[in-house]
Structure formats: C-alpha cells, structure tokens
Amino acid sequence: MRGSRRAAWVGAGMLVLAIAAGILSAQWRVTIEPNAPYDGRYTFVRLRYTVFSRSGWEFDYPAMERNFMTILQDLTTIKPHVRESNIHRMDDPELSKYSVAYLSEPGYWIPSESEAAGLRTWLAKGGFLIVDDFLLNQWYNFERSMKMVLPFARIVPLDLSHPIFDSFFRIGTLEGMHHPGTPEAKAQYYGIYENNDPSQRLMAIINYNNDIGDYMEWSGQGWYPVNMSNDAYKFATNYVVYGLSH
C-alpha cells in the first residue's frame, strides 16, 4: 500500500512539473502581428532569432514597443508607428529599410552564418543596434556571438561624455539602474564603434545588467519604481534619436 501511495505521489508530482513546463512554454510563444508596410515613418524593429531550448527575442513584445512609441510620439517630433512594429530576421533583406533595431536577451543568441552575415552587412550600411536584457554570466555568450558578426570589433565601456547620453535627454548619471529583480546586477553600458574608432559613429549600444524593455513594458502597472521606468524611457529615446541622426 505504501508503495502504491508513493507511486501516486510521484506521478502527481511529475504531472505538476509537466503542467508547469507547459505553462512556461506557452508563455514563451507569442502571436506575431503583421509587420507595418514600409512608408518612411519610424517603425520599431525587433530582431528575431532561434535557439535550441528557448527564445528570448520576443520578451516584452508587443506592449513594450507600444508604450515606448507612445512616449516617443508625445515627446519628440518623430512620428512613429505606435500600434504597429516589425520583426525581422537578421538576414532578411527587408531589414535594410530600417536604421535602428532592437536585440533582446543576447545571452541566449547564437547566430547562424547567414544571420551573422546579414547583421554585419546591415551594420556596415549604417544600421544602429540596441542590445538589451542580459546579465551576469550571459555576457560570455553575447560576446562570442557578437564576434561572429564583427570578428575584429572591440566592445568598449561608455561613460557620460558620449553624445548618446545627451542626444535628447541629458542623462545625469549612469548609476542607479539594475536588471529588474536582480539588484546585484548593476547596469553597465558598452558600445562598438565603426572601425573601432571612437571618432566615428557608434554602431551598437549594449545595455548589460539591464532590461529597459521590461521597465517600459510594465511602466503602467507599478511593478517597478517610477524613476526606473522613467530612466528606461530616457535611455531608449536617446538611443533611437542617436541612431536616426547618425
């Protein structure tokens, strides 16, 4: 009898785990909305990629884009698509129509040769990449993958003297932000310059130990301190303004 009870408890436990796994899997699957037809207006572009166990490119989609585009429309002279945003693979020829793109969770990103080549070409033609939502030991995979795209690129720390922190809002400090829910992961900011030359344009801004996308997605629900959400919008606005003007 004891053996039967133990087997029943084990079976019930396995069922709970299976249900939990199914719920988590369902949460990672999102409904991808149609891309906005190109019309010259600013469109938020998110880069899509595939990994073996899970994805991360779609986290915060599409609420983050809609919240951010509402702020961008209200505060700047940019007239973006507010309710529509685009998703493109890195080797999609359509990506060349857009000058700014967002890459989420690069700690799990491993580009194929075709994707690496597509992103390399886009960056060389003037594309500006915003990298966001990764922390701590996820850096190593991001660096490895970025080297597949730009083998000779140097990833360098940025400080407040860089124009990107004064392109629209004047950012007063780079201290104070951290990855949501991980206070020990203090935000750091890195960049990649064209030809590794600081006198040339910044091709990529890298938000390490940070997740401005999550702060923007939940800015209306009170999950995070107001100053964190406000700062996330300021950084994101500066990034887009810099990308569009350089």
pLDDT in tens, 110-159: 999 999 999 999 999 999 999 999 999 999 999 999 999 999 999 999 99
Tokens of 104: 């989420």
% of the chain beyond a pLDDT of 70 = 87
Half-sphere exposure of 116 (CA within 13 A, CB side): 15
Determine the longest span between alpha carbons in the chain, in angstroms: 77
Q: How confident is the model at residue 210 (pLDDT cuts 50, 70, 90)?
A: very high
Beta-bridge partners for 157: 190
Does residue 2 register a pLDDT over 50? no
- Determine which helix (DSSP H) or strand (DSSP E) holds 45, and give its type and residue range: strand 45-48
The whole-angstrom distance between residue 157's C-alpha and the CA centroid of its chain comes to 18
Does residue 40 register a pLDDT over 50? yes
* Mean pLDDT value of segment 167-196: 96
Assign residue 190 a region (left: φ > 0; alpha: ψ between -120 and 50; beta: otherwise).
Answer: beta
Average pLDDT, the chain: 89
Tokens 């989420």, located at residue: 104
